[in-house]
């Protein structure tokens, strides 16, 4: 298999939350690692769907797009949906001009490191303490802002 086709990561359980994606080889800064795939739909339809984790009403596989629509990775999603959030991320999610969303390495990532990006989740208006807590972050980084919300 050519080196470029070898997978960059595998999925296993994560200390941050549930499943996570872990590098299985060195990933250089700027590498386009994976596309965030799933069903493209409206916020309204995505929020009407059954919870992605029945034990956690705030668990989400939804990625908000610039055009006001979403990618709902609970339908037709790929392994990108297992990438957790971090407040000190090694990856970033970029929405490209054609609307595709790709996860890029922001720095060199060593084998065994967990991949993560800053979800920058939002709620209507300024988030209350309660809302921040609903989306509590467990990334464990020194500069953890305590929530996955973009505050």
Question: Which chain residues interact with Zn ion by CB under 5 A?
Answer: 87, 137, 139, 144
Least distance between ligand SAM and beta carbon 126 (Å)? 21
Whether the Cβ atoms of residue 85 and residue 58 lie closer than 8 Å to each other: no
Instruction: Please tell me whether residue 49 binds ligand SAM under the rule CB under 6 A.
Output: no
Instruction: Please tell me whether residue 17 binds ligand SAM under the rule CB under 6 A.
Output: yes
Q: Out of 37, 74, 84, 90, name the contact with ligand SAM by CB under 6 A.
A: 84
CA distance linking residue 116 with residue 141, whole number of Å: 12
Residue nearest to ligand SAM as judged by C-beta position: 18
Kindly tell me which of 26 and 91 has the beta carbon lying closer to ligand SAM. 91
The residues pairing with 63 across neighbouring beta strands, listed in sequence order, are 71
Kindly tell me which of 53 and 96 has the beta carbon lying closer to ligand SAM. 53
Site of tokens 């297992």: 82
- Given ligand SAM, Zn ion, none, residue 84, with its beta carbon under 5 to 8 Å by kind, binds ligand SAM
Whether the Cβ atoms of residue 135 and residue 118 lie closer than 8 Å to each other: no
Whether the Cβ atoms of residue 76 and residue 38 lie closer than 8 Å to each other: yes
CA distance linking residue 15 with residue 140, whole number of Å: 9
| Cα 48–chain centre separation | 21
Whether the Cβ atoms of residue 141 and residue 86 lie closer than 8 Å to each other: yes
Binding mask 122-151 toward ligand SAM (x if CB under 6 A, else -) reads ---------------xxx--------x---
The residues pairing with 91 across neighbouring beta strands, listed in sequence order, are 105
Q: Out of 59, 107, 120, 133, name the contact with ligand SAM by CB under 6 A.
A: 59
Q: Which residues are near ligand SAM by CB under 6 A?
A: 14, 16-20, 56, 59-61, 81-82, 84-86, 137-139, 148
């Amino acid at each position: 298999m050519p080196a470029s086709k070898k997978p960059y990561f595998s999925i296993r359980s994560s200390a941050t939350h549930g499943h996570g994606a872990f590098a299985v080889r060195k990933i250089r800064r700027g590498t386009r690692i994976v596309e965030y795939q799933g069903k493209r739909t409206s916020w309204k339809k995505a929020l009407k769907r059954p919870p992605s984790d029945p034990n956690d009403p705030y668990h989400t596989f939804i990625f908000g797009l610039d055009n006001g629509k979403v990618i709902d990775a609970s339908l037709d999603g790929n392994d990108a949906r297992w990438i957790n959030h971090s407040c000190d991320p090694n990856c970033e999610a970029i929405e490209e001009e054609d609307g595709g969303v790709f996860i890029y390495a922001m720095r060199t990532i060593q084998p065994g490191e967990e991949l993560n990006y800053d979800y920058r989740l939002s709620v209507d208006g300024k988030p209350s303490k309660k809302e921040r807590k609903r989306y509590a972050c467990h990334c464990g980084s020194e500069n953890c802002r305590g929530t996955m919300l973009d505050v």
